[in-house]
């Protein structure tokens, strides 16, 4: 599975729309490369990147933390 | 990749040199039990993995362990001093790229003075031809060798491509998390999602910790915070333990459910039992609902004692008594007030009267006093003897103001005024007495309600028992022998009881978990309440985002997994239906039913999704076989497995002759090449003919193997060799 | 509402001998996070959530049966929270009303007394309440003795007791 494939499966989760992180129209058009500014989605991307690239869990976790600390 | 040929030398029962060539399609090796089919399977396996299957131990063992047993007894017997070896070589041909790999494994021993001197390891060589007509070159790099073996038969799918018939049962265990995940993983990497879940959990945990630390830091009562923190930790640990227990209970429940269904499958009178099962399920649902209602009623019953004022039952007399006293009290008060008012009125009247005669202080009091003392009216100069009417009238003029002062004093009738208090008690009591009238009916109604529910529960339980009795009866009626019937019933009862027990346990654990989770929530709230000042916005957001991430990671994994299961189910179904299409007795489609512990159980169901019990064992094996094949075929776009060869030893013996042709048809369509060892075609001539002539079967090469000595006469194996005869 | 207010400030007492009885039927509060909810009370088999609840019940039982029992003159008595904190407050007031109904206090006379004397009356009022409650407790105890299983597995036991 490509990173984008995995990303798309996460975008299907109803919680994203339910908790109003992002609208349905935007989700349909979203590509992995797009910068969304939506924290949850960016975190998902960081995790997918780290996981597929073989990063250690600790490193990915730290990146996520740093992103959210801003 | 196609297997073009296999060459054996002194391998097990294949003394001397033998070889077989294969083509695309289904290649069949026919032989009776003990003729050497399994040893041929072993030959394939040995080359690739340096292992053979040892039937006595029911496991695979390395050459190191087996040693010279691999070498043909005849060869060992015939050998003079010197070296003897066994060798198997397989030629693989990649038809697209036209390159060829020859994999060869050899094991040598030395014979000295008639004794065998073992070496430890076998030798493994790979020869490669970049194009089939070129000369072969040796592959020397160990890494490259491993890569070639892997690409011919990738490790994560080898179990589903090269297997023995008796392994079919266990290759995929749908109720074992690891086995199921491994299979699903072949379809698509679910482990990625598991890894992402781990990342999400770890991040959420650290985010929550950071948040909690901040809450603690901002606490206005550190002592209390500490206390609550300890309690929080205790609850967390406890909840973890409960979760572990919960998982165990779910596993146990799933296993028991599975066992129950498996037992029920052993019955041929399927429809009746199935009906009863449905009924039982319905009754159970009802029971659950009733029990919930009962619980609700019973819990609120106690509260009604106070909320609905039931404690006041029969106490109206108290209010009556009080009312009397209160009213009497009020009456007396009113009377007093009336008296005073009357007195005042009377005095007022007098004062008024006096007022019409003369205004106040006219004449002035000293003069009036003089008139009284002299007993003479100074105005008309007439006698006014003391206490005569005239004298009294003069006296009235002085008395006026005094009287008024006196009545003013009388106004403060009493020291306290409790009217409001008693009034309130009276009115409160009045309001409540109205309620008292309704209490008896209220109680009666509630009791009646509870009674009704209890009756319904009793009835439902009775019905349940009756249904279970019916099931037992069917079980016993349709079993083959008394013994097996008793065994099935006994085991079914046991498993059934397990199911009930585990459900109860699970129920209890679920409640405990909820109770403790609520407590944890309350503790967290209290901690939050202790916070003075503001927790930074970004921290709150961070915590929320990470918790959402954790949730999403979990639900997405489930979603993806379930989709893959659906995919597998679909593919399994199409294979199963293809294999059973020629058979009238086998019907139904395959459903993968989700168990409480998140694993699955394969079932054969009818068109409405109701489980078809009474499916015999063959069908169930076919289901498993279909699933095993589906894993590989689902991955390819056209459902055809072109790159790997299916090799299976005696699959047909697990499901019998009836399905053999259906099986072969399907196999030949799904796999570009397959090699099947089978005994069904040995005895059954017509089956053999059909195999080789049926146009729907893409037939490859067919071989018949025959041993030189029959198994029954094999005390001395030193002359054992195997003849291979090509039938087409 | 001076009178009621003063009465409600009082904390009635009961014989410590009754403590065991009270605990048997009352949920003992931990005084911590999460006070006993309804289901917890039910599950523990307790009928009363608080001490004042069973006290009110006992008082009403005594009043209904006109059964007064003097408290032991010893110091061996226990107190709990003042009447003003009893819930529901209308029930508490009903109990007060009941005690007044049975008491010998002359309402009108009461109004003629000065503050100190009123205090004395309130004290004897409290004593009266305690005696009726004591009577109620005794009734419960007697029932427990004569039919120990009366209170077990019987949801309506306290209702039934009111009926007798």
Strand partners, B591: B603
Per-residue confidence at B688, pLDDT binned at 50, 70, 90? Answer: confident
- The model carries a pTM of 0.60
pLDDT at B263 over 50: yes
- Chain B closest CA to C160's CA: distance in Å? 10
Among residues B371, B389, B417, the one where a domain terminates is B417
Per-residue confidence at C57, pLDDT binned at 50, 70, 90? Answer: very high
Q: List the single residue in C4, C87, C114 with the smallest CB-CB distance to B421.
A: C4
Strand partners, B699: B26
Per-residue confidence at B406, pLDDT binned at 50, 70, 90? Answer: low
The predicted structure's pLDDT at residue B352: 75
CB B497 within 8 A of CB B484: no
- For chain A, the chains sharing at least 3 beta-carbon pairs closer than 8 angstroms are B
Strand partners, B706: B723
- Mutation target to probe the B interface, by most B beta carbons within 10 A, among A43, A49, A50, A53 is A43
Per-residue confidence at C35, pLDDT binned at 50, 70, 90? Answer: very low
B646-649 and B2-11 strand pairing: unpaired
Q: Does A27 touch chain B (CB under 8 A)?
A: no
Helix, strand or coil for residue B640? Answer: coil
User: 3-state SS of chain A: helix, strand, coil percent to 5?
Assistant: 65, 0, 35
The predicted structure's pLDDT at residue C32: 33
Q: List the single residue in A9, A19, A51 with the smallest CB-CB distance to B560.
A: A9
- DSSP letter assigned to residue B479: -
Spell out, as residue ranges, where chain A has pLDDT lower than 70.
20-21
- Mutation target to probe the B interface, by most B beta carbons within 10 A, among A16, A44, A68 is A68
CB B107 within 8 A of CB B64: no
Q: What tokens does B89 get?
A: 């070589």
Which of B372-376, B472-476, C96-100 is predicted with the least confidence, judged by mean pLDDT?
B472-476
> Angle at the Cα of B537 (from B532 to B540), degrees rounded to 5?
85
Per-residue confidence at C19, pLDDT binned at 50, 70, 90? Answer: confident
Within-domain flag for C33: no
Q: pLDDT (tens digit, 9 = 90+) per residue, B309-338?
A: 888 888 888 899 999 988 888 888 888 888
Q: Does A53 touch chain B (CB under 8 A)?
A: no
Within-domain flag for C137: yes
pLDDT at B209 over 80: yes
The predicted structure's pLDDT at residue B359: 74
- DSSP letter assigned to residue B109: E
What is the rounded CA–CA span in Å between residue C90 and residue C6?
A: 17
User: What is the domain extent for residue C136?
Assistant: 2-15+50-163
Answer yes or no: do A61 and B545 touch at CB < 8 A: no
Residue whose tokens read 């009276």: B426
Domains identified in chain A, total number: 1
Among residues C153, C20, C134, C141, the alpha carbon closest in space to that of C69 is found at: C134
Strand partners, B676: B28, B648
The predicted structure's pLDDT at residue C30: 43
- Chain C closest CA to B463's CA: distance in Å? 26
Q: Does A50 touch chain B (CB under 8 A)?
A: yes
pLDDT at C134 over 80: yes
Residue B533, judged by CB atoms within 10 A of its CB (0-12, 13-18, 19+), counts as exposed
Residue whose tokens read 């293809």: B578
Mean pLDDT of chain B: 84
**Residues in chain A within 8 Å Cβ distance of B188:** 1
Per-residue confidence at B717, pLDDT binned at 50, 70, 90? Answer: confident
Per-residue confidence at B613, pLDDT binned at 50, 70, 90? Answer: low
Within-domain flag for B162: no
CATH value at residue B720:
3.40.50.300
Among residues B355, B383, B417, the one where a domain terminates is B417
Q: pLDDT (tens digit, 9 = 90+) per residue, B486-507?
A: 677 778 888 888 888 998 899 8
Q: Does B438 touch chain A (CB under 8 A)?
A: no
User: What is the domain extent for residue B333?
Assistant: 325-417
- Chain A closest CA to B250's CA: distance in Å? 26
Q: Across residues B614-627, what is the average pLDDT?
A: 75
- Chain C closest CA to B289's CA: distance in Å? 17
Per-residue confidence at C164, pLDDT binned at 50, 70, 90? Answer: confident
Domains identified in chain C, total number: 1
pLDDT at B692 over 70: yes
Per-residue confidence at C55, pLDDT binned at 50, 70, 90? Answer: very high
Q: List the single residue in B299, B428, B522 with the smallest CB-CB distance to C42.
A: B299
What is the rounded CA–CA span in Å between residue C154 and residue C164?
A: 16
- Chain C closest CA to B225's CA: distance in Å? 13
Among residues C41, C12, C45, the alpha carbon closest in space to that of C137 is found at: C12
Domains identified in chain B, total number: 2
Q: pLDDT (tens digit, 9 = 90+) per residue, B279-311?
A: 888 898 888 899 888 888 877 777 788 888 888
- Chain C closest CA to B588's CA: distance in Å? 48
What is the rounded CA–CA span in Å between residue B61 and residue A39?
A: 54
Among residues B563, B561, B546, the alpha carbon closest in space to that of B193 is found at: B561
Which of B443-457, B481-495, C43-57 is predicted with the least confidence, judged by mean pLDDT?
B481-495
Which of B37-41, B547-551, C48-52, C133-137 is predicted with the least confidence, judged by mean pLDDT?
C48-52
Among residues B388, B417, B446, the one where a domain terminates is B417
Answer yes or no: do B195 and A51 touch at CB < 8 A: yes
B99-112 and B82-94 strand pairing: antiparallel
Per-residue confidence at C56, pLDDT binned at 50, 70, 90? Answer: very high
Q: Across residues B578-591, what is the average pLDDT?
A: 76
The predicted structure's pLDDT at residue B8: 93
Answer yes or no: do B315 and C97 touch at CB < 8 A: no
C–A contact: 3+ Cβ pairs < 8 A: no
> Angle at the Cα of C54 (from C53 to C58), degrees rounded to 5?
120
The predicted structure's pLDDT at residue C33: 31
Per-residue confidence at B46, pLDDT binned at 50, 70, 90? Answer: very high
Q: Across residues C125-142, what is the average pLDDT?
A: 88
B673-678 and B25-30 strand pairing: parallel
What is the rounded CA–CA span in Å between residue B58 and residue C57?
A: 75
Percent of chain B with pLDDT over 90: 16
Sort residue B269 into left (φ over 0), alpha (ψ -120 to 50) or beta: beta
Q: What is the dihedral of CA B189, B194, B200, B202, to 10 degrees?
A: -140
- How many CA within 13 A on the CB side of residue C87? 5
What is the rounded CA–CA span in Å between residue B650 and residue B628?
A: 15
**Residues in chain C within 8 Å Cβ distance of B295:** 39
What is the rounded CA–CA span in Å between residue B60 and residue B58?
A: 7
* Residues making up chain B, counted from first to last: 728
- For chain C, the chains sharing at least 3 beta-carbon pairs closer than 8 angstroms are B
**A47: nearest CA in chain B?**
B196
């Amino acid at each position: 599975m490509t990173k984008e494939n995995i990303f798309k499966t996460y975008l299907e989760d109803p919680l994203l729309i339910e908790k109003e992180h992002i609208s349905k129209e935007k989700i349909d058009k979203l590509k992995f490369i797009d910068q969304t500014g939506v924290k949850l989605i960016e975190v998902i991307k960081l995790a997918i990147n780290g996981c597929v690239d073989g990063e250690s869990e600790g490193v990915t976790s730290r990146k996520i933390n740093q992103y959210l600390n801003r | 990749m196609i297997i073009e040929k296999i060459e054996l030398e002194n391998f097990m029962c294949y003394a001397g040199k033998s070889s077989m060539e294969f083509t695309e399609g289904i290649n069949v090796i026919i032989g009776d039990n003990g003729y050497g089919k399994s040893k041929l399977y072993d030959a394939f396996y040995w080359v690739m993995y340096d292992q053979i299957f040892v039937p006595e131990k029911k496991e695979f063992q390395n050459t190191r362990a087996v040693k010279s047993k691999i070498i043909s007894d005849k060869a060992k017997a015939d050998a003079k001093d010197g070296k003897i070896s066994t060798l198997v070589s397989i030629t693989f041909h990649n038809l697209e790229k036209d390159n060829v790999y020859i994999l060869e494994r050899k094991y040598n021993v030395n014979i000295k003075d008639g004794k065998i001197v073992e070496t430890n390891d076998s030798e493994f060589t790979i020869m490669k031809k970049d194009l089939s007509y070129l000369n072969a070159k040796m592959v020397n790099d160990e890494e490259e060798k491993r890569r070639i073996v892997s690409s011919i038969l990738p490790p994560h799918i080898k179990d589903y491509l090269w297997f023995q018939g008796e392994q079919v049962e266990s290759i995929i265990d749908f109720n074992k998390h690891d086995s199921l995940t491994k299979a699903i993983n072949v379809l698509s990497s679910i482990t990625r999602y598991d890894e992402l879940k781990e990342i999400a959990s770890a991040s959420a945990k650290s985010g929550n910790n950071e948040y909690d630390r901040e809450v603690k830091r901002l606490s206005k009562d550190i002592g209390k915070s500490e206390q609550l923190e300890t309690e929080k930790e205790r609850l967390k640990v406890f909840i973890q333990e409960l979760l572990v227990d919960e998982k165990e209970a779910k596993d146990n429940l799933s296993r028991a459910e599975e066992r129950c269904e498996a037992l029920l499958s052993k019955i041929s009178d399927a429809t009746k039992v199935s009906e009863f099962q449905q009924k039982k399920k319905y009754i159970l649902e009802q029971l659950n609902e009733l029990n919930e209602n009962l619980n609700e009623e019973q819990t609120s019953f106690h509260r009604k004692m106070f909320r609905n004022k039931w404690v006041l039952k029969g106490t109206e007399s108290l209010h009556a008594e009080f009312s009397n006293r209160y009213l009497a009290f009020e009456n007396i008060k009113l009377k007093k007030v009336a008296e005073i008012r009357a007195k005042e009125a009377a005095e007022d009247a007098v004062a008024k009267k006096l007022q019409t005669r003369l205004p106040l202080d006219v004449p002035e009091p000293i003069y009036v006093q003089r008139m009284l003392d002299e007993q003479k009216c100074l105005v008309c100069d007439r006698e006014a003897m003391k206490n005569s009417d005239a004298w009294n009238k003069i006296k009235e003029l002085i008395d006026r103001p005094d009287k008024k002062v006196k009545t003013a004093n009388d106004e403060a009738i009493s020291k306290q005024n409790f009217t409001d208090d008693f009034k309130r008690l009276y009115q409160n009591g009045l309001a409540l007495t109205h309620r008292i009238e309704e209490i008896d009916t209220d109680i009666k109604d509630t009791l009646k309600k509870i009674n009704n529910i209890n009756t319904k529960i009793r009835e439902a339980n009775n019905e349940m028992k009756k249904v279970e009795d019916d099931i037992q009866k069917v079980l016993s009626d349709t079993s083959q022998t008394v013994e097996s019937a008793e065994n099935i019933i006994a085991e079914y009862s046991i498993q059934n009881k397990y199911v009930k027990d585990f459900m109860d346990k699970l129920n209890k654990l679920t409640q405990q978990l909820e109770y403790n989770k609520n407590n944890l929530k309350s503790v967290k709230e209290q901690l939050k309440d202790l916070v003075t000042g503001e927790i930074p916005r970004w921290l709150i957001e961070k915590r929320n985002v990470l918790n959402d991430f954790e949730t999403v990671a979990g639900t997405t994994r489930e979603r993806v997994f379930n989709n893959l299961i659906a995919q597998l189910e679909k593919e399994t179904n199409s294979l199963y239906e293809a294999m059973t299409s020629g058979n009238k007795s086998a019907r139904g489609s395959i459903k993968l039913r989700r168990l409480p512990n998140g694993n699955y159980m394969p079932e054969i169901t009818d068109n409405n999704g109701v489980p078809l019990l009474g499916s015999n064992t063959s069908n169930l094996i076919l289901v498993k076989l279909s699933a095993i094949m589906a894993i590989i075929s689902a991955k390819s776009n056209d459902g055809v497995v072109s790159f790997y060869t299916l090799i299976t030893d005696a699959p047909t013996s697990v499901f019998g002759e009836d399905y053999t042709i259906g099986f072969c048809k399907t196999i030949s369509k799904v796999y570009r090449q397959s090699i099947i060892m089978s005994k069904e075609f040995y005895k059954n001539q017509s089956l053999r003919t059909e195999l080789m002539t049926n146009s729907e079967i893409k037939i490859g090469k067919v071989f018949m193997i025959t041993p030189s000595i029959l198994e029954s006469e094999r005390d001395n194996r030193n002359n054992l060799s195997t003849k291979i005869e090509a039938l087409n | 509402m001076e009178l009621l207010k003063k009465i409600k400030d009082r904390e009635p007492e009961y014989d410590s001998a009754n403590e065991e009885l009270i605990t048997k039927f009352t949920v003992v509060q931990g005084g911590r996070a999460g006070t006993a909810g309804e289901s917890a009370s039910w599950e523990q088999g307790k009928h009363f959530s608080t001490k004042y609840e069973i006290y009110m019940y006992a008082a009403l039982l005594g009043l209904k049966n006109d059964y007064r029992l003097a408290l032991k003159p010893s110091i061996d008595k226990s107190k709990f929270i003042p009447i003003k904190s009893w819930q529901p407050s209308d029930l508490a007031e009903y109990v007060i009303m009941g005690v007044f109904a049975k008491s010998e206090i002359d309402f009108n006379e009461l109004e003629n007394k000065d503050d100190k004397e009123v205090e004395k009356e309130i004290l004897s009022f409290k004593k009266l309440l305690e005696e009726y409650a004591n009577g109620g407790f005794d009734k419960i105890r007697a029932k427990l003795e004569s039919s120990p299983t009366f209170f077990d597995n019987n949801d309506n036991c306290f209702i039934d007791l009111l009926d007798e």
